[in-house]
Amino acid sequence: MKITSITDLDAIRQACFSRLYAPDGVKVNVGMASCGIAAGAQASYNRALQEFSTKPDISISQTGCIGFCEMEPLVEIVAPGKPRMMYHHLTEDKIAEAINGYLANDYHKKWILGQMRDPRNILEDDIANPQAPVTPAEGFPFLEDIPFYAKQTKIALRNCGYMDPDSIEEYIARKGYYAFLKALTQMTPADIIKNIKTSGLRGRGGGGFPTGIKWESCAKHSGDRYIICNADEGDPGAYMDRSILEGDPHSVLEGMLIAALAIGSKQGFFYVRNEYPLAVKRLITAIKEAEKAGLLGDNIAGTNFSFHVKISRGAGAFVCGESTALMSSLEGKVGRPRAKYVHTVEKGFRDGPSNLNNVETYANVPPIILKGGDWYASMGTANSKGTKVFSLVGKINNTGLVEVPMGINLKDIVFGIGGGVPRKKEFKAVQTGGPSGGCIPARLLDLPVDYQKLAEVGSIMGSGGMIVMDQDTCMVDVARYFLDFLKEESCGQCNPCREGIKQMLEILTSICQGNGKEGDIELLEELGAMIQRFSLCGLGTSAPNPVLTTILYFRNEYEAHIRDKKCPAGVCKALFHYEIDPEKCTGCGSCARKCPQEAITGDKKKPHSLDQSKCIKCGICYDTCKFDALVIR
Amino acid sequence: MNSSVSEASLELDYRELDRIIEEDYQNDKENLIMILQAIQKTYNYLPKPALSYLAVKIGVPVSQIYGVATFYSTFSLEPRGRNIISICLGTACHVRGGDRIHETLVDQLQVHDGQTTSDNRFTLESVRCIGCCSLGPVIKVNEDMHGRLKQDEIQSILSRYE
């Protein structure tokens, strides 16, 4: 059926209501994003199909990522008149038992994360909470109240984990494409741009450029204009764009359609990272479904507006996240950035005016159009409006994707939502902004997170990766790690970046190997300042950030490496050794059994000893010991 | 490392190449990267004769195609092994001990990044973040993900692949 009006959307929304909120029988929703599948969701899904597909009153369905990656595989079970239960770690061996238990109203408390109070998204405030008439199950917390979810506000992630990403009907049922049809039938391009400007939305990919201003300047330039979606999410540790594409591809498509209306474009492109095959697959389905519904293609919804999109896949080059490099790569060429004397909104892809935003930015657009720019601007801080998705990873208990209002402080994210550092280790730093960002130390944990505050402490928002580091993370090694990454990824055309990063890396490597000398820190600072000032593109100008911030906040660790020839965290192999503390060693023997070198010996229940000549410092014993008897010296 | 697949013995299926270049990608030079990906998917690497053929078909100099094939890390101009091990060296995996897993792999397979074992069984590649940070450290063997890895588990995982 071709959709031509909001009335058509209403009809689909009504028809699909029961599928989402009041299924005929029991509905099992398995979280099937890449990370869930890696944790075993596919096997759980298959098992559920195998056991229950012949039963008429049970349906098995897929959803995107619900965000709490630590708890994958996550499975939600719902039935009319019953609580919506979210199960965690529901591997294939447990899923049948969990479903049978749910059928018998005998919920498995140990496997349940919580029950959902309200499954609606922020756009569905025109209907009553479908879960309201249901009596909650006693003794189970509401999902919305557990610390991981309590402080979140989901706008970009509004549908991820709540619907089948391959179904356009379910997207419409959650008020999808209403914003686009509103923009198409009731708004002028100037109205749309004004709304986006009022919202204060800034680019979520790293640069943070105001989206409305970008759209406005692109619309001013004549020629064939292009709408491009940057899905080349290259920052290691950030995966929100993958999650949105895998869990809610239509929201991005709808955002691009609205941008195309505002700017006056007929052709759009997705540039997706090659490492994201599932995102590409779901996008292809979404595009086909939207074309079938008449929301994409020629004469959309019976108007003279036409818009086509094409998917291009990247091939593993970090620098292609930079706008000019990305556009060059889209043209089938080597992805090298160019100087931006002329901006891409004037001359970009095929030398035409090109508007590039990232996945998360586009996903924010439909809610802004439906609820108004003022609504969006009411959240956040003076210079950073709305919400931001962060991926909380590294040495943290609750790994996952979280969407919070701008201005929330780091402590609330790391300790409130993230649950702090595992194994009672000491929190050391949080790294934001990927290889272009910096490391923020424990004493700055009260920092409110917005574009400006992060820049003030030497880091950047970036695409939203937050990598938590604890006492076992060596900050010099982290700086070396990022430079090693950037050396590989530098495109090599400008000298400061190509040679400068290499020189800095050599100094850092020698420090980590125990060959650091006085003056190295100052030399790193000098080189860093030079690279920042003279590099051609953003990769180079931000490359020294991880080094400069670690020097700023963890200078003592650099000095320990250089002067005392020690690595306090026990990472740089040349600068530490393990010892067994005879006071703490219980002689349990678990380290000795695992040591690949047979370097640990001792009698049962008596303190063991470690032969330094055999030890290769692999760290297996250190990770194995439950009594903290292995110490770093 | 050396490889048992010699390029001389490789017979190119030009009809298949034509299908990729003409039907799937409309002889369009803007699709060069995706054409190369399709060729690599067919042959497991980019055979040089295929690149010369492609150059003529889409009207792009071989030098430029070579530039693209060597600029992007996905492409390999050497034949690769039967199983591809991708070790994630993203930041989250790095702070959770990814380097030690990497060392163990290098040690057990006796190859470095981008190299293939002499029996052609494995090719070791490092990638920067697969986006499965909650499972770090992670390796991907072909399409299978192995997460929350410990060094002593590597051997038993590798033994599952022939």
pLDDT digits 0-9 by tens, A454-491: 999 999 999 999 999 999 999 999 999 999 999 999 99
Q: Do A315 and B145 touch (CB under 8 A)?
A: no
A63 and chain B in contact, CB less than 8 A = no
Give pLDDT tens digits for A326-347: 999 999 999 999 998 999 999 9
Q: Residue A594: which residues within 8 A CB-CB, separation 6 or more?
A: A620, A621, A624, B152
DSSP B22: I
| The domain defined by A475-562 carries CATH number 1.20.1440.230 | yes
Question: CB contacts < 8 Å between A and B, how many?
Answer: 141
pLDDT the model gives residue B2: 42
Q: Distance (Å) from the C-alpha of residue A627 to the closest C-alpha of chain B?
A: 19
Q: Do A34 and B132 touch (CB under 8 A)?
A: yes
pLDDT the model gives residue A330: 97
- Within a domain: residue B2? no
Q: Distance (Å) from the C-alpha of residue A317 to the closest C-alpha of chain B?
A: 6
B64 and B97 belong to one structural domain: no
CATH superfamily, domain A6-150, is Glutaredoxin (3.40.30.10)
Would you identify the CATH topology of the domain A577-632? Alpha-Beta Plaits (3.30.70)
pLDDT the model gives residue B9: 59
Closest Cα in chain B to A482: B91
Give pLDDT tens digits for A211-267: 999 999 999 999 999 999 999 998 999 999 999 999 999 999 999 999 999 999 999
B49 and B109 belong to one structural domain: no
- Within a domain: residue B19? yes
Mean pLDDT of A442-456: 96
B67 and B17 belong to one structural domain: yes
Chosen for mutation from B71, B108, B127 (greatest number of chain A CBs closer than 10 Å) is B71
B51 and B89 belong to one structural domain: no
Q: Is the pLDDT of residue A144 over 90?
A: yes
Q: What is the CATH number of the domain that holds B99?
A: 3.40.30.10
Give pLDDT tens digits for A608-624: 999 999 999 988 899 89
Closest Cα in chain A to B136: A394
B98 and B34 belong to one structural domain: no
Mean pLDDT of A67-85: 95
Q: Distance (Å) from the C-alpha of residue B35 to the closest C-alpha of chain A?
A: 10
Arithmetic mean of pLDDT over chain A: 95
Give pLDDT tens digits for B3-58: 444 555 578 899 999 999 999 999 999 999 999 999 999 999 999 999 999 999 99
Q: How many domains does chain B have?
A: 2
B152 and B93 belong to one structural domain: yes
Task: Work out whether the CA dihedral A550, A556, A562, A566 comes out positive or negative.
Answer: negative
| The domain defined by A387-470 carries CATH number 3.20.20.120 | no
Task: Transcribe A329-397 into DSSP letters.
Answer: HHTTS-------SS-TTTS-GGGS-EEEEEHHHHHHHHHHHHH-HHHHHTSB-SSSBSEEEEEEEES-S
**Domain span including residue B140:** 83-158
- Within a domain: residue B46? yes
Domain finish residue from B20, B48, B71:
B71
Q: Judge contact between B105 and B87, C-beta under 8 A.
A: yes
In the beta sheet, which residues pair with residue A76?
A29, A86
A275 and chain B in contact, CB less than 8 A = yes
Q: Do B92 and A330 touch (CB under 8 A)?
A: no
- Within a domain: residue B78? no
Mean pLDDT of A377-391: 97
Q: Residue B73: which residues within 8 A CB-CB, separation 6 or more?
A: A315, A316, A317
Q: Do B33 and A329 touch (CB under 8 A)?
A: yes
- Within a domain: residue B76? no
Give pLDDT tens digits for A16-64: 999 999 998 999 999 999 889 989 999 999 999 999 988 889 999 999 9
Give pLDDT tens digits for A558-593: 999 999 999 999 999 999 999 999 999 999 999 999
- Percent of chain A whose predicted confidence (pLDDT) is above 70: 100
pLDDT the model gives residue B134: 84
The residue ranking higher by pLDDT, A177 or B90, is A177
pLDDT the model gives residue B160: 94
CB-nearest to B133 from A318, A329, A399 is A399
Residues of A in contact with B153 (CB under 8 A): none
pLDDT the model gives residue B128: 84
CB-nearest to B128 from A70, A312, A318 is A318
Residues of B in contact with A235 (CB under 8 A): 129
Give pLDDT tens digits for A266-321: 999 999 998 899 999 999 999 999 999 999 999 999 999 999 999 999 998 999 99
B60 and B89 belong to one structural domain: no
The residue to which tokens 């000019």 are assigned: A324
Residue A56: asked if its preceding bond is cis (omega within 30°), the reply is no
The residue ranking higher by pLDDT, B1 or A163, is A163
The residue to which tokens 């204009």 are assigned: A225
Backbone angles phi and psi of A427, in degrees to 5: -65, 135
B150 and B100 belong to one structural domain: yes
Tokens linked to A221: 């330039």
B97 and B139 belong to one structural domain: yes
A118 and chain B in contact, CB less than 8 A = no
Domain finish residue from B33, B49, B71:
B71
Q: Judge contact between A63 and A163, C-beta under 8 A.
A: yes
A558 closest CA partner among A575, A579, A577, A578: A575
B66 and B102 belong to one structural domain: no
pLDDT the model gives residue B10: 72
A394 and chain B in contact, CB less than 8 A = yes
Give pLDDT tens digits for A342-358: 999 999 999 999 999 99
pLDDT the model gives residue A72: 93
B65 and B126 belong to one structural domain: no
What would be the CATH architecture of the domain defined by A177-376?
3-Layer(aba) Sandwich (3.40)
Residues of A in contact with B145 (CB under 8 A): 37-38
Per-domain residue ranges of chain A: 6-150, 177-376, 387-470, 475-562, 577-632
In the beta sheet, which residues pair with residue A441?
A429
Give pLDDT tens digits for B96-116: 889 999 999 999 999 999 999
Mean pLDDT of A439-451: 96
The rounded distance, in Å, linking the Cα atoms of A387 and A579 is: 47
The rounded distance, in Å, linking the Cα atoms of A510 and A517 is: 9
Interface of B with A (CB under 8 A): 28-34, 36-37, 60, 64, 67-68, 71-75, 89-92, 94-97, 100, 103-104, 127-136, 138, 145, 147, 150-152
Q: Do A391 and B138 touch (CB under 8 A)?
A: no
Task: Transcribe A262-298 into DSSP letters.
Answer: HHT-SEEEEEE-TT-HHHHHHHHHHHHHHHHTTSSBS
